[in-house]
Every structure is written in C-alpha cells, then in structure tokens.
Amino acid sequence: MDGSLFMILAALLLVVVMLTAALAALLSESHLVAVVSLSILSLGLTLLFVLLRAPDVAMTEGVVGVGLSSLIFALALKRLRLYRSSTPAESCDE
Amino acid sequence: MSRSSRSMEWTPLLFSGGLAFFLFALFAVIPFGDTAMKVGTMIHQQGGELGAANLVTAVVLGYRGLDTLGELAILFAAATSAGLVLSNTRQRTRSIKNKGLGELFESAISLLMPLLLLVGVYIVLHGHLTPGGGFQGGVVIAVALFLPTLARGEMVINHHLIQWIEGGAGALFILIGVAALIQGAAFLQPLMAAGEVGRFLSAGTLPVLYLLVGLKVGAELAALLGHLVEDDEPGVQQ
C-alpha cells in the first residue's frame, strides 16, 4: 500500500507538471518557449512510463520526444527566422 | 485576433477537464499500473521460444516483424520527402558554416559525443537483452553524430555515404526476411538457433535485424537533421 501511494503521488505530481507545460506551450508568446515546454511535457511522460514499468516505451519517448523532436522543431524555427528567446517586439540576436 | 482570444477562453476549461480526467483515472477502482494484460500473459506462456530476454523485442521483431518493416517504410517516406523539400541543390557533399556555440559547448560536446555514441551502440546491440533497441539506439547515434555540427558550426555531411548505409541496411533487412521464406518459414520469421536466453549471442537473427534497424534509422535521421541545417545559410534561402 505504501509503494502504491507513493506511485499515485508521484504520478499526480508528474501530471500537474505535464499539464502546466502543455498550458505554457499553448499560451506562451515565444515559439522557443513553446518548444521547450513540449520537451518538458515529454520528459514528464517519460517518467510516467518508467513509473508504469514500460522501459522500452520510456526510452523511445525520452529519445524522440525530449531530444529529437525538440531539435527538429528548433531547427525548423531557425529556418523560419523565428528562433529568438524574447517576444518579437524586442529585437534580439540571430 | 478574435479567434486567438476565443481559444484563450477555452484553455482553462481544457486544463481543468484534463486534470479532472487524470484525477478520476488515478483514483478509480483499478489499481494504478496494475492491469493484467491478456496478450502479455499469453506471450509469457510461450516461454521465450525466440530466445530474446526482452519480450518487447520478441514482439517487435519476431512476432510482428512485418509491422516493423512497415514502420521503417513510413519513416523512410517521411525522411525522404522532407529531404526532397528541404534540399534545393544537387550537390551531394556540402559544408556548413554557422557561427558555432563557443568554446564551452565545443569542449563539452567533444567530451560527451563518444559517450553518447557508446550508449547508442550499446542500446542497439543489446536490444534483445535489455530495454531499447534499434529505434532508440539509432536516434541516439544520429543525434550524437549531429552534435559536433551544432557546436562547431561546420562539418561536411556526406549524403552519398548516408544513403548507401540506409539503403543497404533496408535491403539486408528484407533479404533476411526473404531468406526465411526460402527456408520454408514465414516472411521475417527468426532464423538460426535461439540459443541460451540472456547470452549476447542468442535469439537467432533478432540482434542482426535490430542492428540493421538501428543503422537505417540513424542514417535517415542524420540525413534529415543535416538537410535541416544545411540550407540555413542566408544565401540559399529562396
């Protein structure tokens, strides 16, 4: 019972983090912040898969969701000249 | 403008709805993470006839090898079409010159890259023993090979070589499947003796198939990332 209570609490924390990250991705002005938020969401999903004893799926989610898709998104933003950490009003490098 | 503000009104509702659903799911009657899967039990009862310590590998390559071939085909089509759209030049070998990320990143990445490569190769080669396999390891290898490009800002990507690796791995994967057909078994049915479960050289052709999957996925993704970076120069933009 103790272990399962810990699992529920950990999963609850992860779910809150994931939903917050998803909301941040929806609401943020900066595209870069949205990409990072999606990466954090994937990280939460990875930990959730580990909790649920699915290491294969967790590895795939970690590698593809956290790493590769963020990299591809960031490179696409760079090609579209949207790669800045601040809102479009303030000019930035790049 | 009005459309975006309307979607802003909906997002809190979505958030609370999702939270309520997860809370309901977590505290529902079913014990968390404890559902008995009938399919898994049945495959367990087969008793590792394929000789793979990792059951997921036995399913992915042994029982459903054809599905893996379909997945590879989908990834191939996606990567090829992305490369077709992104590369507007016929040149096979091109050098990239970006700003780079500075000395700190460069030293960190030159330290990390061999370790990442090692982890990727380990994941591919031990796909039949431990969690992970060709897909995961292939992605790790592709990203590890791509990191120096990101840090130094210049690297020559040999698309010709990458295409040969990718095509050869895919062709060999299908040839192994056809070899099973010639021997009178089903397409992609694992050949050779299963061996002792848990040894490195076991599970017949499964490790070979995973190695080919890893090579193919790694080459495809490396080519895709290379295409994405290559045409970044201001002069090439249309």
Q: Domain limits of chain B?
A: 1-35, 51-230
Q: Is the pLDDT of residue A63 over 60?
A: yes
Residue-wise pLDDT tens digits, B6-53: 556 777 788 888 888 888 877 776 665 566 556 666 666 665 666 666
A54 in a structural domain: yes
Question: Could you tell me if residue A16 is inside a domain?
Answer: yes
- Say yes or no: B210 contacts chain A, CB-CB below 8 A: no
Nearest CA in chain B to A54: B131
Of all residues in chain B, the one with the smallest CA distance to A20 is: B15
Amino acid found at A65: G
In a domain, A65, yes or no: yes
Is A72 a member of any domain? yes
Chain-chain contact of A79 with B228 (C-beta, under 8 angstroms): yes
pLDDT digits (tens, 9 = 90+) for B92-139: 444 455 566 677 878 888 888 889 889 888 888 887 777 878 888 888
Asked if B22's CB is within 8 angstroms of A15's CB, the reply is: yes
B181 band by pLDDT with thresholds 50, 70 and 90: confident
- Identify the pLDDT of residue A16: 92
Q: Tell me if chain A has a CB within 8 Å of the CB of B221.
A: yes
Instruction: Pick left, alpha or beta for residue B172 (phi over 0 → left; psi -120 to 50 → alpha; otherwise beta).
Output: alpha
Residue A29 token pair: 């002005």
In whole numbers, what is the pLDDT of chain B averaged over residues? 74
CB-CB neighbors (< 8 A) of A64 in chain B = 139
Q: Which residues of A touch B132 (CB under 8 A)?
A: 55-56, 59
In three-state secondary structure terms, B133 is: coil
Band (pLDDT 50/70/90 cuts) for residue B224 is confident
Q: Which of A23, A55, A68 sits opposite B221 (nearest CB)?
A: A68
Whole-number pLDDT of residue B51:
65
Expressed as residue numbers, the domain containing A65 is 2-79
Handedness of CA B178, B179, B180, B181 (dihedral sign): positive
> A55 pLDDT exceeds 60?
yes
Report pLDDT for B29.
Answer: 65
Residue A93 buriedness (CB in 10 A; 0-12 / 13-18 / 19+): exposed
What's the total number of domains in chain A?
1
Q: Which residue of A has its CA nearest to B13?
A: A23
ipTM of this complex prediction, to 2 decimal places: 0.73
